Amino acid sequence: MLFKNQKATYMAYPSELASTLNQDAAQKSKQWLSKWPLLSPNATPLWSMKGTAHALGIKSLWIKDESKRSQLGSFKALGAPNALIKLILKHFPAFEADKILLGAYREQLANFAVVSATDGNHGRALAAASQSSGCPCTIVIHAQVSKEREDAIAAYDATMVRIAGNYDESVEEADRIAKENGWTVVSDTSYEGYTEIPRDVMQGYGVMAAEIVEQLEDNQKKPTHIILQGGVGGLAAGVFSYFWEHYGVERPIFVIVEPSQADCLYQSAIQGKPASATGSVDSIMAGLACGETSQIAWRFLQPSVDYFALIEDQDAIDSMLQLAQGYHEDTPIVGGESGVAGLALLRKLVEQDQLDVLELNANSEVLIINTEGATAPELFKELTGLTAEEVIAKQ
Ligand SMILES: Cc1ncc(COP(=O)(O)O)c(C=O)c1O
């Protein structure tokens, strides 16, 4: 359930990585996205969960709450839109970056079609950014994507294609459709020969890290540990790289948590190279149900992630309930299935009396990210007994 990565280093952020992902690029993304009406104009909250930290036996627990980022419901609202802007700029260098999502070039983009596979959140963000800028968008979903997630994407005018296979097969199908029609794939995962666009998606995720650094440093705080959930690894690479560059040799301990049946990053750590998941890749944590590691993300994760951990679906369900109810007098939070993975790992470690395995103790100050809210509202209600609105009303 836990793997210590012997390849993790504590050196200054290497220049060969900085040439791909860096703090300046994240700041630029922040500026480009800041005018998009679908995003909150303010930084998302960084909740200090004092009661939960005490109950877990650690000093502090901060939760960056991406359920508040956008009506799109997740941090993915930062990735695909950033990549789409950069892609459009590459083809239309005279356009102004911060006007693209405002629809200023709608007519010129009417035939600039994009396509992507998704397990929900990435496709929704790409569909919304395409609708705002005027690009036609096709989204490929796999058999396990729920009807409510499909409808949420289609609401942004995307053409939907559903295949019978799994996530990885939907990635292949998107690639095939793009080649057949001369369209561009805007994917959040990278594979052989396809790295530029997933890099730009990850760069957008750096916006969260930039906000967290400001929010923590306003209070003269620094985390000892950062725990992030892993799908293909893009979120973790985008956020950890920012913190690595920022803190250098003094960086916090980095941990990745995945569903045990979609353990591609855990397996990559064991094998020392991008690897596939060993399980069914079917998890209630839909955003984390990925079978293949993003190759470009792995370049950042192998030399920096100290521990890889696995959790079960039930761990996530229990943590959704805990967050929604506001245990230990902490603020109630709308945490979706994939959003709560960091808390689920902490609770599991406490239950198994294994906190020390991650070098956690009473002095630890831990940062986690609630990466999504109720992106599948009916499922959220079924699992927590509450609607997102009821949780928000108690905040
Ligand atoms: C809510 C949520 N959290 C985390 C992730 C994981 O991100 P990545 O696949 O970049 O590792 C996803 C991916 O879709 C997601 O939707």
pLDDT at res. 167: 86
Q: How far is the CA of 10 from the centre of ligand 1 (A)?
A: 26
- Which of 360, 365, 319, 325 is closest to 342 using CA atoms? 319
Pocket test for ligand 1, best of 76, 256, 268, 295 (most atoms within 8 A of CB): 76
Q: How far is the CA of 145 from the centre of ligand 1 (A)?
A: 14
Output the average pLDDT for the chain. Answer: 96
pLDDT at res. 1: 87
* Tens digits of residue pLDDT in 83-137: 999 999 999 999 999 999 999 999 999 999 999 999 889 999 999 999 999 999 9
pLDDT at res. 218: 83
Checking if the pLDDT of 161 tops 90, the result is: yes
pLDDT at res. 157: 96
> Nearest C-alpha to atom 13 of ligand 1 is from which residue?
287
* Tens digits of residue pLDDT in 190-224: 988 999 999 999 999 999 999 999 999 888 999 99
- What is the mean pLDDT of the segment spanning 4-18? 98
Residues of the chain with CATH 3.40.50.1100: 2-74+197-393, 76-191
| Residues contacting 6, CB < 8 A, separation 6+ | none
pLDDT at res. 226: 98
Pocket test for ligand 1, best of 338, 369, 372 (most atoms within 8 A of CB): 338
pLDDT at res. 64: 98
Checking if the pLDDT of 374 tops 90, the result is: yes
Q: How far is the CA of 93 from the centre of ligand 1 (A)?
A: 30
Pocket (CB within 6 angstroms of ligand 1): 74, 76, 119, 121-122, 188, 229-236, 287-288, 290, 338-339, 371-372
User: At residue 170, what is the residue type?
Assistant: S
| Residues that are catalytic | 76, 119
CATH architecture under which domain 2-74+197-393 falls: 3-Layer(aba) Sandwich (3.40)
| Residues contacting 328, CB < 8 A, separation 6+ | 49, 50, 51, 52, 54, 55
Task: Pick the atom of ligand 1 nearest to 236's CA.
Answer: 11
Q: Are 333 and 319 in contact (CB under 8 A)?
A: no
Checking if the pLDDT of 166 tops 90, the result is: no
- Which of 144, 346, 331, 112 is closest to 226 using CA atoms? 346
Domain 76-191's class?
alpha beta
Q: How far is the CA of 172 from the centre of ligand 1 (A)?
A: 19
